């Protein structure tokens, strides 16, 4: 092994994204295919207060599992360092407010796009209008993403969390644990909590040489942007929204866990708007049994994985 850790965004790092694991677990199979025999480092921070309950996972993977307990580590850190906790809280409040403002604008901008896609008119006139309506949504998404990144950058400049003694001590412990592991498993759950903890401890830097297998929210957190989505919630219009800048391991794919349940994949308008809004990233349905691997910079889909197309259809994804 090289003495210098590879960059966390190294495209040659083995990376596997899986569909939800509860009913059809395929995690062990993913490790088998990667020929990983050793200990698995587990990130289950998305499970929040149930983070420690990894017995089922341990049984399923049939390999030693080290639970990194990022959620509990974060809680302990905040309890021990009220200043850091306060700074974090303040940052979260800023992010929540930004999200509220973005959501208000998004609702109207997206309504424009939906109206254009719901119309029948002379294609010569209508198609440029549709394109312009999508461009407006994309601009708004990108602007929001820049605002979010600015907040994070400001926080890092102001508080330099990695220089904080308690954070540094936790990172050292994590680095020691990771040194004995052969792969990193990132579970789903609460995507904001998970992302927050991964970022707080700079975990991908610490595990820069490890293959990653991630599912559901775990897969979402690794993308360039985290997009929340649900087409038929009991309240509200079900407008997908950019929540956060993700950890940026890839920007050419947007994983959509539970897509069959959460999205109206039989609604061409919604599918077309979704796919065009986030292009050139491929919007990929990540349902139970699905697996997609990145090898040498390209994605290899398995298990009949599907993607949303700009024409409003759902098609089997090709490499």
**For the chain, how far is it from start to end, CA to CA, in angstroms?**
30
Q: Is 66 in the site for other proteins (CB under 8 A)?
A: no
Q: Is 235 in the site for other proteins (CB under 8 A)?
A: yes
For other proteins, the closer CB: 107 or 311: 107
Instruction: Give the residue, chosen from 33, 114, 230, 264, that forms a contact with other proteins under the rule CB under 8 A.
Output: 230
Give every CB contact of residue 242 below 8 A, 6+ residues apart in sequence. Answer: 102, 141, 144, 145, 148, 225, 226, 227
Q: Is 247 in the site for other proteins (CB under 8 A)?
A: no
Judge whether 23 and 288 are in contact, CB under 8 Å: yes
Give every CB contact of residue 64 below 8 A, 6+ residues apart in sequence. Answer: 38, 39, 40
* Helical (H) or strand (E) element with 259: helix 259-262
Distance separating alpha carbons of residues 175 and 86, to the nearest angstrom: 26
Strands 241-245, 282-286: pairing kind: unpaired
Judge whether 197 and 75 are in contact, CB under 8 Å: no
For other proteins, the closer CB: 160 or 232: 232
Judge whether 285 and 257 are in contact, CB under 8 Å: no
Q: DSSP secondary-structure letter at 234?
A: S
**Rounded to the nearest whole angstrom, what is the least distance from the CB of residue 110 to other proteins in the complex?**
15
Instruction: Give the residue, chosen from 5, 85, 87, 228, that forms a contact with other proteins under the rule CB under 8 A.
Output: 228
Q: Is 79 in the site for other proteins (CB under 8 A)?
A: no
- Total number of residues that touch other proteins (CB under 8 A): 22
Distance separating alpha carbons of residues 319 and 300, to the nearest angstrom: 5
Question: Considering only residues 183-202, where is the footprint of other proteins by CB under 8 A?
Answer: 188-192
**Stretch in the footprint of other proteins (CB under 8 A) among 18-26, 76-84, 202-210, 305-313:** 18-26
Residue 69 burial (C-beta neighbours within 10 Å; 0-12, 13-18, 19+): buried
For other proteins, the closer CB: 36 or 245: 245
Q: Is 20 in the site for other proteins (CB under 8 A)?
A: yes
Q: Is 23 in the site for other proteins (CB under 8 A)?
A: yes
**Rounded to the nearest whole angstrom, what is the least distance from the CB of residue 217 to other proteins in the complex?**
4
Instruction: Give the residue, chosen from 220, 253, 308, 314, that forms a contact with other proteins under the rule CB under 8 A.
Output: 220
Q: Is 74 in the site for other proteins (CB under 8 A)?
A: no
**Rounded to the nearest whole angstrom, what is the least distance from the CB of residue 229 to other proteins in the complex?**
8
Tokens 């990929």 correspond to what residue?
A: 284
Q: Is 233 in the site for other proteins (CB under 8 A)?
A: yes
**Rounded to the nearest whole angstrom, what is the least distance from the CB of residue 49 to other proteins in the complex?**
4
Q: Is 257 in the site for other proteins (CB under 8 A)?
A: yes
Q: Is 100 in the site for other proteins (CB under 8 A)?
A: no
User: How many other CB atoms are there within 10 angstroms of residue 246's CB atom?
Assistant: 25
Judge whether 247 and 216 are in contact, CB under 8 Å: no
For other proteins, the closer CB: 181 or 196: 196
Tokens matching residue 6: 């590879």
**Stretch in the footprint of other proteins (CB under 8 A) among 24-32, 147-155, 203-211, 215-223:** 215-223
Q: Is 22 in the site for other proteins (CB under 8 A)?
A: yes
Binding site for other proteins (CB under 8 A): 20, 22-23, 46, 48-50, 188-192, 216-217, 220, 228, 230, 233-235, 257-258
């Amino acid at each position: 092994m090289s003495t210098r850790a590879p960059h966390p965004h190294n495209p040659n790092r083995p990376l596997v994204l899986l569909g939800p694991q509860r009913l059809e677990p395929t995690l062990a199979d993913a490790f088998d295919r990667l020929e990983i025999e050793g200990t698995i480092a587990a990130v289950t921070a998305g499970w929040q207060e149930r983070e420690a309950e990894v017995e089922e996972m341990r049984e399923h993977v049939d390999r030693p599992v080290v639970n990194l307990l990022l959620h509990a580590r974060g809680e302990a850190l905040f309890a021990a360092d009220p200043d850091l906790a306060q700074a974090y809280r303040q940052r979260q409040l800023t992010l929540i407010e930004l999200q509220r403002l973005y959501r208000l604008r998004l609702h109207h901008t997206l309504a424009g796009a939906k109206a254009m896609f719901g119309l029948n008119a002379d294609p010569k006139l209508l198609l440029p209008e549709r394109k312009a309506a999508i461009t407006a949504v994309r601009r708004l998404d990108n602007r929001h993403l820049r605002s979010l990144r600015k907040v994070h950058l400001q926080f890092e400049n102001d508080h330099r969390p990695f220089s904080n003694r308690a954070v540094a001590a936790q990172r050292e412990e994590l680095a020691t644990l990771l040194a004995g592991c052969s792969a990193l498993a990132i579970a789903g759950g609460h995507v904001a909590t998970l992302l927050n903890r991964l970022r707080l401890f700079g975990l991908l830097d610490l595990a820069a040489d490890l293959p990653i297998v991630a599912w559901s929210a775990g897969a979402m957190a690794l993308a360039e942007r985290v997009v929340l989505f649900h087409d038929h919630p009991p309240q509200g219009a079900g407008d997908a929204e950019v929540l956060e800048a993700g950890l940026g391991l890839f920007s050419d794919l947007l994983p959509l866990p539970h897509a069959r349940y959460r999205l109206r994949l039989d609604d061409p308008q919604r599918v077309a708007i979704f796919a065009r809004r986030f292009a050139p990233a491929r919007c990929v349905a990540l349902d139970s049994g699905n697996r997609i691997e990145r090898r040498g910079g390209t994605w290899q889909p398995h298990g009949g994985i599907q993607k949303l197309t700009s024409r409003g259809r759902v098609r089997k994804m090709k490499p």
